[in-house]
Structure 1
Amino acid sequence: MAKSYRFADFTLLVNQTLSKSGVELTIEPQVLTVLVYLIENNDRYISTQELHDALWQGRVVSDTAIRRAVGKLRVILGDDAKEPNFIKSVSKRGYRFVAELSANETVDLKADEFAISATEINHNRGRLYFIVSAIFISCCLLYYFFWNQPSFTPRLLSEKIDFPGDKVALSSSIDGSQIVFASQVHQVDGYQLFKYLPANNTLQQLTTNQHNVVSSAIINNDSQLVFVDFILGQCSIKILQLDKGNINKIKVLVDGFYLISDVVAIAGEAGFYFNGLKESNGNTQLYYYDTALQTVIPISKEFIVGEHTYKTAVSPNAELLATITLHDVNNQHEIRIKDRHSQSVLKRYYHPSSIYDIEWLDAHTLVILDSIAMTSINLASGEKKQLLNKHNITEISVGKKRGLIALQNEISSGYFTEYNIEQSQLVNAKIIDSSKSVLQIRYIGSGESYLLYKKNHDQYDVILKENNQEKILFSSTKKLRIIDFNLAEQQLLLKLDNRYLLVDIKSSEKIYITQPDQFISDTANFSSDNDFILYAEKSRQGWRIIQYEIKTGLKSELFQGFKIIKPRPEGYILIDEDDGVVQYDKATEQFKKLDIELLKELNSQWVLLDKDLYWMSFDLGNKYLNKFDILTEKLQRFTVDSTLSDLNFDLNNTGTKVVVKVGAHKNTEIVSLPSCCF
């Protein structure tokens, strides 16, 4: 027996179907499970994290994916997020099903879950049921053997794709010379397309303003790329030329679809297949796009209520189709092997759970990916082999020499990214370094060169990076921090052992300028003329600013009552013990308090470039780069990625670039699954 629920005009058969006024509705399996979970826990709010843990079975997915599932559910139910009748959401609490419910017990039409089984097509439906039942019993006997087949571990592509973040819509050219994927650049809305060339290890951005690319395919002898731009209710398929450089003109081929789930290439042809839903209350069906006629051709000859084809793959010789169809009545997923030209069904395979992806390795071998395992089936012999178990693979695609490449989710450490500052916004974010070993990055000059602070096993290195060449300037077995760099004199100021250390790069001379028992801040600077080092120290009498003369080693007190100093040609910007910001003019020897407020933490970072003062701040979950003109006292705020791991940053000497660090995030790696493993 299975439980069913009624609410408003809807009837939900748990884990099977959702119908309205007796008419079955089209709903993705994962979206249906979200609805069931909300209904069965309708006495409380369900957080995004709880939905992730309960329904995504350990898979690494973004909060956006969960919100998208809830959004699709609202569309299906006709619910308004602002005035909800069914699903109410409250910030920081989650979602709650609020409609009045009635529950009943119904006959469970879903068969017991069983491993993938195969049967030759038989037009006598009664005989087909008998064969399926017999194979089910056989598979139960083979269960232990099947699930204990040896597996292997995916490996990263030998050519590391240095682009962290979530990735989707993976596709590859026939010879493996081009790999295409879609990714989200930080928190900018929409997934954009990128092309990776393994031969020279280069990455090109192909699109900039698409909504959400969810599927892609390289067609027409690897010269063109077609992709699905997903907006629920307004999905389209677009095309671009792969040989036109970076970003080029995009043309719409197919539009007017409520939903399009994938697009599939055909070896040696310019046409392609796709699975789409014309109307929200219809069925997802297979279509072919004829590029010569510029026409969409339905492949399904008849409309069958409760059947939804959502994945398709074409065999390497372009003779066979493999399609995945969901049956609403029992939530079973059927793989049909068809003759591509006659559309006659040659074999059927049944699967108890949703299938993420499907690919052909050769004319006889099919690879199936679900939430638990990756399995291959030899159609000629019927041999089944489990390739991976308990994986984090989300997509597969045929790569070089008929091996597979795949997307594998993981949690990654932070990475450094660079923004260009243009007028009132930060634009054109790019990754500077994503290796786990880099702990700090500082600009040198205009920003074409960098100082990197890296951990290398048990050693900490300060490295100069110019023209993609790295040179170690200083090494230590203890943690340190880059404080400032004097480009003209080639001098490096570090904080090591809670002391300021001056390193002369040319002579390798090292001088500690403070003592271990002194309490000093994390902020110090070379003076504007590079003759002094300015820093703050604290005693029983309070904070004071010290001026250290580099040539003689002599120290003198510059100011009392200030804990941070930044030099400028006309004077200094200081922070007093009450966190007030003060401007000092050398010519008049006058102090002027500025009407701004910086972070109160002692070691919060701020940068002074001529007359502009920069610092980071946060407000209600948002993070900002602030720019304050100390002459006009005008403040500008630039919104930055809210996933920044801290409020530290650096600017180039022209104030046109800023480098920040993004914290731990969900990351997708492109991995290879070599053909020898199949």
Structure 2
Amino acid sequence: MKSNNKNIKEWLNGRKCKVGKYTINFKQTSLEDGDEVIKLEPLTMELLCYLVNCQGRYVGQRELLEHVWEGRVVSDNAIRRVVNKLRNALGDDAKSPQYIKTVPNKGYLLIASVVYSAAPNEQTANPAAQNIPDDGTADITQTLPESQAPASVPETPNQASRFTRFALLTLAVTTLILGARFITTNSQTPNEQAQRFISIPGETLFADYNDTKQVTAFTNRKNPESHYQLYLKRTDSDIIQKLTQAPHNHLAPKWSKDGDKLAYIRQTGTSSEIIVVSFDDTMNIETSDVVAQYDSVQANLLWGPEDKQLYYSHQLSERAPFALYALNLSTKEKKQVTFPESDTWGDYHARFSNNGRLLAVLRYIGSGKVELRLLDLEKGKVRSSRYLNSTPLSLVWDSADRHVLFTHDGVAYRYNIDSQQLEQSQIADDNVIAYTDTCSKDCLLALRKQPNTVSVLEIQNPYNAPATPVTMFEFSSNFKHKGHPIYANDPSNVYFRTKIEDINQIVQVSTTGETNILTDFQQNENIYDLAYNPHAHAITGLIDDRVFILDLHTTQIDYVTTQMEQSSRPNWSADGSAIYYTRDEHSAPIIIKYHLTQRTKTPMFQGAIEVKEDQDGSALYVLSKDATLRGYQSNKLSTATFEHKVPTLTYISWHIFDGALYYTYSDGQYHLAKVDLASQTFSHKPLLTNANYAKFSIHPSGKKLLLKKETEANGEIIKLPADMTWHTYEHSISE
């Protein structure tokens, strides 16, 4: 690619300049420092010149795409690669920057000094820097020219709100995109102006539209601690009808084809009921029947092609994968339809084509990957299968039944069922996270959420109420997609996973506000189950099912396992010399102890899924597959001295602390349970209401807990045009 000298001249107003210690040589596309000459690629030079032009304010990826890449379709990784090339040329360090600073949700900021040696049209000040607040931060939307500002959305009396990910995607779902590139097949710019369709206070979720009755069923909750209730809205009216009031979650509403019946799931804790409601011509309820009862946290429901069956996701046991079941509404007979492999999460979403011939199924297989399967149930065949390096929440069919459509991270995808080709289109609104339904031949309904409504924060330990108030901190205002927070030895520092420039990284945040980015991943990795080593200043955890060790002194990462081992639940020994983790052998879990010094692995407990030591290492606590936690003296592993039932779900946690077992469990709301290890006395106290995630870390003093918590409920349904400009999407997948 040739350098765009016209752009460079316009951006720098014809001036020559020096950035930090380097003089920019435009003709030679190089940086010069005395006798040292560093050659830059043309695109890297353009990026540097644009950052110089915008010195004093943050520049986001969308602005770079418009002005440096001039609207060409490239992946986010392509931008990051050029930024990294520029940093390498400047000798800059992203973790301790001297030239280019990156701040989550804002963009790139040139922080090095800029000195101009010639200024034909020189101004006394950089106008781009005049809107910078005193604290040095800048909101890019305040400084963009009018032509660059985000398109406005028509206002309605209702306010925008946010969508929260449901149970499955809170557990382990994140993006893994490797080697992506896009080939343009249409040069037109897509026109995807969003229009608000349903926007009421609170968080709107699960919308289903019936074209026959021109009515939409949806769920909404007013705050993070309230329950989802069921509502109806006619297309020709602003009146919203509330159908439920009970203290339960009402999820996944689905219309029958004629619009006379509505099925939905009523959930209390892990107990679910499928309810079918029938309506008269004025949409008043005539009957309401419970047609099925089962235990499940996965809110997936759909009608069969002739409205004679309901399909739903169900797991036979806590560690079994979710499979699709069909319920015959006449006989109430249940039949298993899909049979996922035992090492997958299973089938979490499905949708029939409009003609009822094919069933599209999303199956989560781990490591941020999903399998899209098209099933021909009448012939009993898998029509096609495609692995996705993304994790869509849901999918829809187009009106012609030729494509399956879904979204992820602000990008729309469609899968051609005949050619089995995947195509991609950029959505103008980055906050769109899922298609929920079609509203006509030319219209799609989508869920839109606002970021940063989940915080990493401290709350008081309900069992340790001090006489004097304890200072609580909230750590994550500038980060998105936060998770797995942990304390260190010094409790003024916490560590958690978050997204930086749309890539998962591990960060350290202090109570004084200092932030350190500890990793420098160039592509998305699925990072979870972090644990701190109290003796070696290191962190272990999982990166795409591989146990890793992050040295916090050097920020170097070593891998303990391979991805083929399918490892899980790593924990440090009390003295920090070993890591316990679980892997599957012959379809059964086994505990492995990894010795850091010898770099050897010792098999220990068959059928167990997690091991932790107490604080002095004198006892071992082993959680079995059957949810039984047993305690052993470290020098006598043959006889258990303690036994208690503990949930094995991955979105709760348990800890041994100060002579007690602490763990979270749910009966519709989350409780913090405490069991005295000596007397085995059990007690419990309320912790979180209507949450879907209850992992926590205990402060070294025992007075506080650190956890991830929703601080705001907001989300809305918007309407998008179905006609978009599509580009062939080629990607490589690491199995």
Q: Which of the two has higher C-alpha Rg?
A: 1
Q: TM-score, normalised by structure 1?
A: 0.40
Greater RCO, 1 or 2 (C-alpha within 8 Å, sep 6+): 2
